[in-house]
Structure 1
Amino acid sequence: MKKQNNYSIYTPEKIASSMVNDIFSEYFKNGNKKQLLDNIRICDISCGSGNLLIPAVEKLLKLSKEIYGIYEFKKEWVSGFDLDEHALTEAKLKIKLLLLQYNIDNVQLNIQKLNSLELDNVKYNIIIGNPPYLGEKNNRELFQKIKATNFGKKYYESKMDYFYFFIEKAVELLESNGLLIYLTTNYWLRADSGQILRNTLKENGNFLKISIYDNSLFNNAIGQHNIIFLWKKNLSENTPIFVDIVGKQFQVSNNEIYDTYNKIVLADDIERQFNNKIQKYSNFLLDDLVNINQGIISGYDKAFVFDKYDDKFKEYLKPFYKNKDIEKYTHKKNQFWILYLDKNININPKLEEYLNPFYDRLAKRREVTSQRIKWWQLQWAREQNIFEEPKILVRQRCKTNNFAYSDTKFYGSADIYFITKKTEDINLFFILGYMNSKIFLEWFRFNGKFKGKNFEFYATPLKETPIYYPSDQKELLFIENLVKKQIASYDEQTQEIIDNYFYAIFNI
């Protein structure tokens, strides 16, 4: 179940049936079927209205007929927990109606209102689920309560999602060789906030199957991108993972999916060979050569951003750009201006008079209430030099690698990253050529982050990107001159020369 902004989204029937079929097939794969059925203990710790439990119950009924010769249902076979009483009532009713179809009545169901994150001293051999998705940003009180518990202290990570806790609790509740199948968003595979979650799964068992979708499995959750994974609590069996990524299928072992940063990279043999070559021939990470800084967070754009230049505020106004202004190698002219008010600025009476109508809104910002900034300052102004010295411009989200160069004043918001030199001798043109190359895009496709069909060029994956950076000035100047041509006037043939240079460097 997904809960967000006071609404719930339940697992579609077809998806629920497929998940149940997958985990039952694995559970009954080996051993005595009667003994396995006798001992089965299934739980959905965020069961909602029972969309995953219902196909599980029906599957059990059919198996009981096959194995026992009669339709039978035992209370201890299935448990479901949630905090939504209305949903639980619906789940019980639907399961009882299903049981009646098989002439089974008067069965007490173990479906109850309970905070499953507090469950302890109970074990299951199958856990199924579609846990609630909630970000910490708008649900701080909920996260604070969990953080105060021993469970929360063990698993909490800054900027994590609420559903991480449900995966970790499922790992705890599974007995040895127990099976877990979950439907979630796919962001946690590579998210900075998913380190503890990935470690928990890595240190306690192995994936058996992973399916990744480039669209939402829910009609009313557009923009969400899902993963269904089957995992076994067993470290002794390093069985291959069956991977299905948007219809592309392959197998990979569990010990091959974790990169050097413990992020999960799902790549077939060809992709892994590509990754190995990039790492083999690289001699730096981008983080070794450049600073990667996020743009301005104003806290209230309406107060600070102008769509026209106002001469009476000329000492404060700076050219302000949107991320869509960034193109490959170059950028458009700014259409906006921003009042750049940082800790070094003193405002004059005219500006204070202009800002006064926004006082109530500006004064409520966290950094103002904690007295880190004055009420009229930008919430996060950043260091001014990153906007004014030579830099590479990065759109935080983009369908391809469109990175630009600027040596003029270019102020932008937090959906733009600014790449500047760590030392004066670093050649930004060479780095820009690499970042705009096909090689870079392929690396990021396998190892970076996505939001739907958009790459997410965030600071961490950019910093972790390997690069070949030559010591030979001739090589640096060769690419620099080509990049300068592209900045002056983009040309596909020139880009092909740049691409071929890097293909040759990495022996691809």
Structure 2
Amino acid sequence: MVIGNPPYIRQEEIKHLKPQLQKAFSIYKGTSDIYTYFYEQGYKILSPNGTLSFITSNKWCRAAYGEPLRKFLLENTTINTYLDLNGIKVFESATVDTSILEFYKTKANDNHTLNYANPKDYNPKDEKPLLPQYSKIPQNTLSEESFIFSDSKLAALKAKIESIGTPLKDWDINIYRGILTGYNEAFIIDSTKREEILKACKDENERARTEELIKPILRGRDIKRYSYEWAGLWIINTHNGYKDEQNNKIPPIDINEYPTLKAYFDKVANSAKQGKGKGFYDRDDKGITPYNLRNCAYLPEFAKPKIVYSEIVREPQFYLDNGEFKFGYFYAEATSFILSGNESFKSSLEYLLGLLHSKLCTFAFKEFYAGGGLGESGYRYKKAFLEKLPIPKIAKKQEKEFVELVKEIVQTKQIGGATLVAHNEQTKILESKLDSMVYKLYGLDNEEIAIIGGGAT
């Protein structure tokens, strides 16, 4: 028998070990954290039919780096128990969500069922024994793509949702991360600093050109449900060059043509405190010069209609940026993502906005695609996860009904001024109506709706 709590060391900290790990382990993946290799090593030292039981991070069940491990387990072991401790603070000194896996060193029979439990209400501080209520899950319902531990009703619901919807990766859309500036302290400024820079320009020509480079920006924390709360921040878009939508090559910004910006950057560089990282001039993640942003080939996507969303959330937070803000389209910072249509996109972003906020899609994403939770109630809209979410492609006439309702929700939230009003009675009524329409779109019955927690319609 092998029992253990393997170390949790991120893959970035074991770069020096990767050549040896690649040679030694069949489950090697360049992005795997070190604990995954202990599963294979534990298997190797077990006697036939021996038992292994590990408590580790639960990320291997759905993360891309866990695919070789999942394949290995399915092909070589009989999984006896999987105890998901997501949201339970097992270790005081660690924030990682954990799970306990127990398997036997023998290939599973086709009809084998494993024991699964997710005791969400358990609190280790109560100092009471953990007595989970286990469900039986057929091992052959797990796949190397992801381990989703669902009872028969949940599995049937997942299959139904996937039969109706089309994964977002197969839509004509692009999903991109917000801009990694390489040096936020210099490239992201507040409104006071923006005005100071513009006033220092020597003439109107320089001021106009400089103003054109400074764009309003949203961070993940600024994005709300159907809305945003702008913090008055701007990004200095001294880009590194890119190709526009017509495939024309746009040259990098030459800072010498913007003397006031250059003086600002030099002042920041000279006054910055040198910490662990490198300074403004000598940082590794700069563009062709220290004054240029690091490469971002998809810059044109920010200056067009798009959905901007927070990556790490407790509830869906998507905002449709149609360029209605007084300073034009928002750019997005690295803690947020954008979703935009490509040249073949014929659907409506409002339709996607509504579906992404719906109870059904939120439940499906968290339950089936989100790669596990974060803490007690958080989860992550990682691109690789969101692309798996099945959204139905529907006729324009039917889509129009959703678009009109979503526009009404957005307008209702705008009542009361620039700070959008959330969760008032009218928006609750409208969002409840949207949920009912989404349930019908996927053909759910009252029992399936109850699983989601939506109640009967």
Name the TM-score class by shorter chain. Answer: 0.7 to 0.9
Among 116, 124, 141, which residue is 1:256 paired with?
141
Q: Post-superposition shift, 1:285? A: 3.5
What runs of 5+ residues in structure 2 fail to find an aligned partner?
121-132, 199-209, 241-251, 271-277, 324-328, 414-426, 445-457
Q: What is the letter of the counterpart of residue 468 of structure 1?
A: P
Structure 1 distance, partners of 2:316, 2:15, is 35
1:345 aligns to what?
253
Are the aligned partners of 1:340 and 1:381 in contact in 2 as well (CA < 8 Å)?
no
Q: Is the 8 A contact 1:186 1:226 kept in 2?
A: yes
Which residue does the alignment assign to 1:243? 116
What is aligned with 1:132?
7
- Please give the residue correspondences for 1:32-181 in structure 2 after superposition, counting only pairs within 5 Å: 126-141=1-16, 143-147=17-21, 150-151=23-24, 154-181=26-53
* Paired positions, count: 373
Please tell me whether Structure 1 or Structure 2 has the larger radius of gyration of its CA atoms. Answer: 1
**Distance (Å, rounded) in 2 between the aligned partners of 1:156 and 1:380:** 30
Structure 2 equivalent of residue 96 of structure 1? none
Q: Deviations for 1:286-340, whole angstroms, at most 9, x for unmatched residues? A: 5423211111111221121112233425232110112122111122234211111
Structure 1 residues 127 and 366, CA gap change in structure 2 (3 angstroms): farther
Give the whole-Å Cα distance in 1 for the aligned partners of 2:53 and 2:116: 14
- Given candidates 288, 293, 307, the residue that maps to 2:176 is 293
Structure 1 residues without counterparts, runs of 5 or longer: 1-125
**Cα deviations by residue, 1:458-492 (Å, 9 ceiling, x for unpaired):** 1011111111110x211011101111111111411
CA distance in 2, matches of 1:156, 1:330: 42
Tell me whether 1:460 sits opposite 2:389 in the alignment. no
The structure-2 alpha-carbon separation of the partners of 1:396 and 1:161, relative to structure 1 and needing over 3 Å to count, comes to same
Aligned to 1:218: 91
Q: What is the CA-CA distance between 1:145 and the residue it aligns to?
A: 4.8
Show the counterpart of 2:396: 473
2:274 maps to 1:274: no
Give SS of 1:176's match: coil
Measured in 2, the distance between the counterparts of 1:284 and 1:396 equals 19
Confirm or deny: 8 A CA contact 1:367 1:373 kept in the other structure: no
Counterpart amino acid of 1:463?
A: E
Distance of aligned partners of 1:167 and 1:480 in 2 relative to their CA distance in 1, 3 Å threshold: same
CA 140–366 in structure 1, closer or farther in 2 if over 3 Å, else same: farther
The 3-state SS of whatever aligns with 2:159 is: helix
Does residue 403 of the first structure (1) align with residue 318 of the second (2)? yes
Q: Distance in 2 between matches of 1:175 and 1:364?
A: 54
Q: Do the aligned partners of residues 306 and 169 (structure 1) sit closer, same or farther apart at CA in structure 2, a change above 3 Å counting?
A: same
Residue 175 of structure 1 aligns to a residue whose secondary structure is coil
Percent identity between matched residues is 23
Kindly indicate whether the alpha-carbon contact (under 8 Å) linking 1:401 and 1:441 is maintained by their aligned counterparts in 2: yes
Question: Structure 1's 162 and 373: CA in aligned 2 closer, same or farther, altered over 3 A?
Answer: farther
Would you say the 8 A contact 2:29–2:68 is kept in 1? yes
Asked if 2 retains the 8 angstrom alpha-carbon contact of 1:365 and 1:379, the reply is: no
State the superposition RMSD in angstroms: 2.1
Aligned-partner residue type, residue 231 of structure 1: F
- Measured after TM superposition, the shift of residue 283 of structure 1 is 4.1
Aligned to 1:430: 351
Distance 2:350 2:299 in 1: 22
**Alpha carbons of structure 1 residues 269 and 386: separation in structure 2 relative to 1, 3 Å:** same
SS at 2:90's partner residue? coil
- The structural deviation recorded for 1:257 is 2.5
Distance 1:374 1:139 in 2: 31
In 2, the alpha carbon distance for the partners of 1:441 and 1:299 equals: 33
State the SS of the aligned residue for 2:386.
helix
Query: Cα deviations across residues 212-255 of structure 1 (Å, max 9, x unaligned)?
Result: 1112211122x221101101121143531111112563110111
SS at match of 2:432: helix
Match of residue 209, structure 1, among 75, 81, 86: 81
> Letter of the aligned partner of 1:166 in structure 2?
F
Alignment of 1:225-240 (within 5 A): 225-237=97-109, 238-240=111-113
Within the alignment, does 1:501 sit opposite 2:376 as a pair?
no
**Inter-partner Cα distance in structure 2 for 1:353 and 1:156:** 49
Would the alpha carbon gap of residues 264 and 364 (structure 1) be closer, same or farther in structure 2, given more than 3 Å must change?
Answer: farther
1:158–1:410 distance in 2 versus 1, CA, 3 Å: farther
Cα deviation digits, residues 368-409 of structure 1 (max 9, x gap): 4xxx64322223435222212111112101111221111121
How far is the alpha carbon of 1:363 from its aligned partner?
Answer: 4.4
Q: Residues 140 and 364 of structure 1: is their aligned pair in 2 closer, same or farther, counting only changes over 3 Å?
A: farther
The alignment partner of 1:137 has SS state of helix
State how far apart, in whole Å, the 1-side matches of 2:10 and 2:284 are.
18
Corresponding letter in the other structure for 1:387: F
What is the aligned partner in structure 1 of residue 190 from structure 2? 307
Deviations 1:6-40 (A, max 9, x none): xxxxxxxxxxxxxxxxxxxxxxxxxxxxxxxxxxx
2:418 aligned with 1:418, yes or no?
A: no
Q: How far apart, CA to CA, are the structure 2 residues paired with 1:474 and 1:132? A: 55
Relative to structure 1, the CA distance from residue 287 to residue 325 in structure 2 (aligned partners, 3 Å threshold; closer, same or farther) is farther
1:418 match: secondary structure: strand
- Say whether the 8 Å CA contact 1:182–1:230 is kept in structure 2: yes
Q: Secondary structure at the match of 2:11?
A: coil
Give the counterpart letter for 1:361 in structure 2. G
One-letter identity of the residue aligned with 1:156:
Y
Using a 3 Å threshold, how does the CA distance of structure 1 residues 506 and 389 change in structure 2: closer, same or farther? Answer: same
Judge conservation of contact 1:215–1:224 (CA < 8 Å) in 2. Answer: no
CA distance in 1, matches of 2:38, 2:227: 45
Change (3 A) 1:463 1:287: farther
User: CA 1:457 to 1:137, structure 2 compared with 1: closer, same or farther past 3 Å?
Assistant: same
Partners of 2:336 and 2:119 in 1: how far apart? 29
1:341: how far off? Answer: 2.1
Q: Is the 8 A contact 2:167 2:387 kept in 1?
A: no
Distance in 2, Cα, partners of 1:286 & 1:162: 30
Q: TM-score, normalised by structure 2?
A: 0.77
What amino acid sits opposite 1:257 in the alignment? Answer: L
Q: Quickly say closer, same or farther: Cα 1:286–1:476, change in 2 above 3 A.
A: farther
Relative contact order higher in (CA < 8 Å, ≥ 6 apart): 2
The 1:189–1:230 alpha-carbon spacing in structure 2 relative to 1, beyond 3 Å, is same
User: Which deviations, in whole Å up to 9, do the C-alpha atoms of 1:154-189 show, x marking residues without a partner?
Assistant: 433232211111112222222332211001011111
- Any conservation in 1 of the 2:173–2:345 contact (CA below 8 Å)? no
For residue 148 of structure 2, the aligned residue among 241, 265, 268 is: 265
